[in-house]
Structure 1
Amino acid sequence: MIDLDAVTAIDMHTHAEVSERGDHSLSAELDAAAGAYFKTEHRHPTLSQIAAYYRERRMAAVVFTVDAESATGHPPVPNEEVAEAARANPDVLIPFASVDPARGKAGARQVRRLVEEHGVRGFKFHPNVQAFHPNDRRAYVLYEVMEELGVPAVFHTGQTGIGAGAPGGGGIRLKYSNPMDVDDVAADFPGLTIILAHPSFPWQDEALAVATHKPKVYIDLSGWSPKYFPPQLVQYANSLLKDKVLFGSDYPMISPDRWLADFAKLPIKDEVRPKILKENAARLLGLTRD
């Protein structure tokens, strides 16, 4: 269990890009494109290195892989390895998992097993890389189990650095990441907690509309330096969505150090900053007693 008094922030969005065995979660082409897009080098820490990195900073981190094997042909970092790393580092790591929607009913059984047997606390979807619309009814068997078990679902929204700049974007299609597709999921599964990941360019207003309209939809601020946040996102984070906006970095593609330094320069109200950095996440993850 995370000691909330011992951590200064909860990073809701970090990636397990490489396993302890050295296997990568992305193909070489997509990995290189992401590195060039984010201008990052040496961004392949193992899970044990991620734990040490966040412990040094007195932060906790939600960590996950992305299972897009049906669309890419590339196997992910195993969910079980992420869960095992979190068990070994319970003071800093919070395990989420990823199940390819193409796995159907077998995927739904995997969701249940990962929660009940491995202690997974939530699930990550990347519609662009997984090549599916979130409101595709084939994915609903996964959401049904997540809603039943009370674990949140994170959906990548907006443009992605995965494949950016590669010929044809590496085959990655942006159409899958419109947050309005997730609005259908929120309507059809009202008990499911949903996190819209990232400022949702070019659909920022759509994301704000969904989050204000659906009670259990949150927004994480990962993937962008805060200095590039659209003004309406800052306005809503300071007001209507002050209890539903979450700190996330997208580490190792963006470091929490860089994110927090730029966040400190935003005109965020003093009473709202701790909500975004820790309190909202703690409540969403069930880390508080209230």
Structure 2
Amino acid sequence: MNETEYKFDATKTVDGYGAIDIVTNFYTPRVIAEGRVPTDENFRDQVRMEQGPRKGLTPEEYIEKMDRAGIERSLLIATRCGDRRLSTSTEIPYEYIYEACQAYPHRYSGLAGINPLLGISGLKELDKAVHEYGFVGAHLYPHWFGQSPDAAIYYPYYARCAELGIPIMMQVGHCLIYRADNRLATVARPMALDRIAIDFPELTIIGIHLGYPWTEEMISVATKHRNVFMCGDAYAPKHWGASAVHFANTYGQDKFLFGTDWWVIDPERAMKEIHEFDMRPVSKRKLLRDNAIKVFNLPE
């Protein structure tokens, strides 16, 4: 793509502005060929993933999908899934995400995956991701490390994110069987964020995956704490549930962000279903764009 092709044309969208997807897995043919995807075919069948994308999309091909969906920017995750000394664990190097963001700065921003087992070296890598690579946030999968989000092992990373002035998102709610040879336990209920928010009032925390099946619990924590937000990703919008949609449309309109967790949810489907909601225009814009700009300090 050239300079004109990767710039987003908001005039072609339903509402005249582009959405921001804050949860996007970077599954390219290269990443798949190197065995860096943490799920197996059984998982992909379970979430009814289409066959074509299973081979991966290049950064350019995914931008084409974003354009069709009306998404201006996607936050790409340098995922870290478990103890990298184990054969069932995977990670996407920060450098892979940095390359895509450098090539298409108007369309992609990076999120630094957290592996708390790396100790001080992991903190130094996080510093580099933010200061040198321009990453806008951090990402944590607690179930891959077998400990609740409020466990002590994560606290140095929460402190460093607060110091760096970046938000951290983490999966809360249950987890599926991502691969048959490594069955992970559910360790992250949304209420665990309550303790973190108290201990780190300067830290912006985002509970992703709706907190399902404890969505009401996620809403309660986001309502209690000014520094806690939630994201409607990993579930198609029509399955978010009435309470989540009501929260996003009314009293929680400043606390709810949009994401897909691609591959899990296709952005074209997600955007179509959101446009079918009976939402207030101001609430819809906050959900799809404005809240992400504020939370991640993104360019307008």
In the superposition, the TM-score normalised over structure 2's length comes to 0.86
Structure 2 CA distance for partners of 1:210 and 1:18, relative to 1, 3 Å = same
Match of 2:156 in 1: 141
Deviations 1:188-225 (A, max 9, x none): 11111111102212211110111001101111111111
Q: How is 1:135-284 mapped onto 2 (pairs within 5 angstroms)?
A: 135-163=150-178, 166=180, 170-174=182-186, 176-284=187-295
CA shift for structure 1 position 161: 4.0
Q: Which moved more, 1:82-91 or 1:50-59?
A: 50-59
Find the aligned partners of 1:248 and 1:80 in 2 and give their Cα distance. Answer: 23
1:80 to 86, 95, 108: 95
Deviations 1:87-126 (A, max 9, x none): 1110100111102111122211211121112111111111
Task: Provide the aligned C-alpha RMSD in A.
Answer: 2.3
1:36 is the counterpart of 2:45 = yes
Find the aligned partners of 1:75 and 1:132 in 2 and give their Cα distance. Answer: 18
Deviations 1:58-104 (A, max 9, x none): 52101103212407533311112101210111010011110211112
Letter of the structure 1 residue corresponding to residue 83 of structure 2: S
1:53 to 65, 70, 73: 65
Find the aligned partners of 1:105 and 1:263 in 2 and give their Cα distance. Answer: 42
Structure 2 CA distance for partners of 1:130 and 1:49, relative to 1, 3 Å = farther
Find the aligned partners of 1:271 and 1:36 in 2 and give their Cα distance. Answer: 37
Find the aligned partners of 2:46 and 2:78 in 1 and give their Cα distance. Answer: 19
1:11 is the counterpart of 2:11 = no
Find the aligned partners of 1:235 and 1:197 in 2 and give their Cα distance. Answer: 17
Find the aligned partners of 1:99 and 1:140 in 2 and give their Cα distance. Answer: 12
Find the aligned partners of 1:255 and 1:246 in 2 and give their Cα distance. Answer: 16
In the superposition, the TM-score normalised over structure 1's length comes to 0.89
Find the aligned partners of 2:224 and 2:79 in 1 and give their Cα distance. Answer: 28
Q: Is the 8 A contact 1:131 1:173 kept in 2?
A: yes
Letter of the structure 2 residue corresponding to residue 97 of structure 1: A
Number of matched pairs = 282
User: Runs of 5+ in structure 2 lacking a partner?
Assistant: 1-5, 11-16
Letter of the structure 2 residue corresponding to residue 10 of structure 1: I
Structure 2 CA distance for partners of 1:134 and 1:179, relative to 1, 3 Å = same
Match of 2:104 in 1: 89
Using the aligned pairs only, state the percent identity. 26
